[in-house]
Structure 1
Amino acid sequence: MPTRPHLQVSCALIEQDGRVLAAQRGPTMSLPLKWEFPGGKIHAGETPQDCLRRELMEELGVQIAVGKALPSVWHDYPGFRVTLYPFICLLTAGTPVLHEHAAVRWLWPHELAQLDWADADWPVLDAYLAERGSG
């Protein structure tokens, strides 16, 4: 049985004025049109925090301050396995520009669960809401 790829991914719960940024995956990406906390694959020799700073500049054209880490999450998708390393972040510069995503939305924490999230992002959302006392 072939080994499925195991991706190491950082993701950001970017806060601004009490709201959190949600990003909708593009139609040609894996997990098309699912919502996610933006981020990306960690390169060899790169910290999860450095990955976030790089990925968010590449994908959305924004700069962030990386804050508190939330518990990491493992999830098995049909074709691959992912470990997510989530961080609560603050937007420090820029306005999100869609380079890869179909849409972004700034939502109040209590509105986040209304979206159709990628499966691996649900435990991240739960941890965030528990951390913020909004769950």
Structure 2
Amino acid sequence: MINVTCAIVYFDDKILVTQRSEKMKLPLKWEFPGGKLEGNESEIDCIKREIKEEINIEIDIVKKLSDSIFDYGTFQIKLIPFIGNYVSGTIKLAEHSEYRLLDMFELSNLDWAEADKPIVEKLLKLAL
């Protein structure tokens, strides 16, 4: 089981989403940015570090959502989602091919990585 944090980052009323590059596992799928938990790192330290490394921005964590576990066949992922707010920095993608800032209702239009789909559904229900 791979423990991975991800962040639903709000830029005012828009949500940051990222597209995986062609070189990554699950190429060109959309996801909430984040990455693998390392060693004795806390989940919050991990997501803040990953967002800084991958996206080049600082975020404040607002809330943790329930985990999403998905079996991709060759590996299992436990996705640990957080809601956060943009604080500072300029978006510069280190690994992803593209990013978008979307309204909540636009999220369902993307081709999501399987582990992220339950998180998208949860967000849409929260928005109702």
The one-letter code sitting in structure 2 at the alignment partner of 1:111 is: E
Paired with 1:129 and 1:52, the residues of 2 have a C-alpha distance of 22
1:109 aligns with 2:117: no
Match of 1:90 in 2: 85
Paired with 2:64 and 2:125, the residues of 1 have a C-alpha distance of 13
Match of 1:131 in 2: 126
| Cα pair 1:71 1:127 within 8 Å, conserved | no
1:26 aligns with 2:21: yes
Paired with 2:5 and 2:125, the residues of 1 have a C-alpha distance of 20
CA deviation digits over 1:54-79, x for unaligned, max 9?
00111110000011111101000021
Alignment of 1:33-48 (within 5 A): 33-48=28-43
Q: Scaled by the length of structure 2, what TM-score is found? A: 0.97
Paired with 1:51 and 1:128, the residues of 2 have a C-alpha distance of 22
Unaligned runs of 5+ in 1: 1-5
Paired with 1:122 and 1:24, the residues of 2 have a C-alpha distance of 14
Runs of 4+ in 1 over 6 A off after TM superposition: none
Paired with 2:58 and 2:122, the residues of 1 have a C-alpha distance of 23
Match of 1:59 in 2: 54
Q: Scaled by the length of structure 1, what TM-score is found? A: 0.92
- Matched residues, number: 128
Identity %: 41
The one-letter code sitting in structure 1 at the alignment partner of 2:84 is: C
Match of 1:73 in 2: 68
Q: Secondary structure at the match of 2:125?
A: helix
The one-letter code sitting in structure 1 at the alignment partner of 2:42 is: T
